[in-house]
Amino acid sequence: MTKENRKFARVNDPQIDDAHAEIIRTMDEAATVTSKAGLLSVIIDIYKHASVHFLEEEQFMKDQDMPRDFIYEHSGHHIRLRKHIQSVIMDIESYSLDELKKLLNEMKDLMLHHIESVDSRMTEYLDP
């Protein structure tokens, strides 16, 4: 994991922190892509990484016996994030390359916001 990938909050679980770094790295990679086809493949990669990560994180919360309310609320955020990425994939034909890059930036902001404001709360329920 490179230093610049550590700009966001850490949960202090290596698997989760590495998955976050990988998702953000894939999102950063999109900035260098110059075709819509290339961007579509990066977005599909993001969708796959995020989907696997969300499931792992939901299992992690259950394994750690985190409160049901928190797991429920957190999983709801995951569903919305996944749907958001899915909707960009479904409508890809209607966007220009610049619009897609803008959407990817927004996607990155949403993901970073989720890590900062929701994922980071998992530390409250973990042993120090």
With respect to Fe ion, which residue has the nearer C-beta, 33 or 66?
A: 66
Among 119, 120, 123, 124, binds Fe ion (CB under 5 A): 119
Distance CA 82, CA 48 (A): 10
Over 46-91, what HEC string results?
Answer: HHHHHHHHHHHHHHHHHHCCCCHHHHHHHHHHHHHHHHHHHHHHHC
Residue 17 lies near Fe ion (rule: CB under 5 A): no
Piece of 35-43, 55-63, 80-88, 94-102 that binds Fe ion (CB under 5 A): 55-63
With respect to Fe ion, which residue has the nearer C-beta, 33 or 118?
A: 118
* Residues forming the site for Fe ion (CB under 5 A): 57, 119
